[in-house]
Amino acid sequence: MDHLISPSILNADLGNLEKVVLMINNSQADWIHLDIMDGVFVPNISFGFPVIEYVKKISEKPLDVHLMIVDPDRYLSRFSDAGANILTVQYEACSHLHRTVTEIRNLGMRASVALNPHTPVSLLKNLLPYIDMVLIMTVNPGFGGQHFIEESYNKIEELRNMIEKGAYNVLIEVDGGVDTSNGAKLIKSGVNVLVAGNSIFGSADPTGAILKLKNLK
């Protein structure tokens, strides 16, 4: 499959959110990435249900929602109701991860698990049959604009080998410091979905920046 682009609106001008979403609608982006932060799991607070619901009303793209919050199980059905199509929970935040991803799927969403930079992919070996995607964090979560962690390539290749060995239908997504300088190498390493924020919304031409990422080989 061709790789997908999921622009992260955390880095966008939220004061002009409608304009941002309409731009993504008219671009070559595939999803819209929304980072939900509670100020506890990560040292930052972003946005919640009203923003997701608003984006859902005007978006023509699936909503790719990443929960960086403690005890996400409390809110799974609420995120489904708000319009999430793909819901990612952090491995480090879930005590009973199999139960969590099963409930996400039962609610009609695609289930995804994110790993922080220090968390080894081997911990997902027995969970791959039950999920649809793994999000590899290529920076420490919490803030946009950080530098890409180079060790991530080895981690991605290890995960890709695990997925292919088991013939699992699991996508690999990456988030953190993604741009045209490393996107092609990430794709060659086995990545299916590129999340990009600063490299898109820090550009004078966000639509063009999305197109450049989409055209990477």
Residues classed as catalytic: 35, 175
- Can you tell me the distance from the alpha carbon of 25 to that of 176, in angstroms, rounded to the nearest whole number? 22
- Can you tell me the distance from the alpha carbon of 14 to that of 80, in angstroms, rounded to the nearest whole number? 22
Angle at 45 between CA 142 and CA 71, to 5 degrees: 85
What are the angstrom distances between the C-alpha of 28 and each of 24, 61, 87, 124? 8, 10, 22, 31
Residue 154: other Cβ atoms inside 10 A: 11
Q: In the chain, what are the helix, strand and coil shares in percent, each to the nearest 5?
A: 40, 20, 40
- Can you tell me the distance from the alpha carbon of 148 to that of 61, in angstroms, rounded to the nearest whole number? 26
- Can you tell me the distance from the alpha carbon of 147 to that of 100, in angstroms, rounded to the nearest whole number? 31
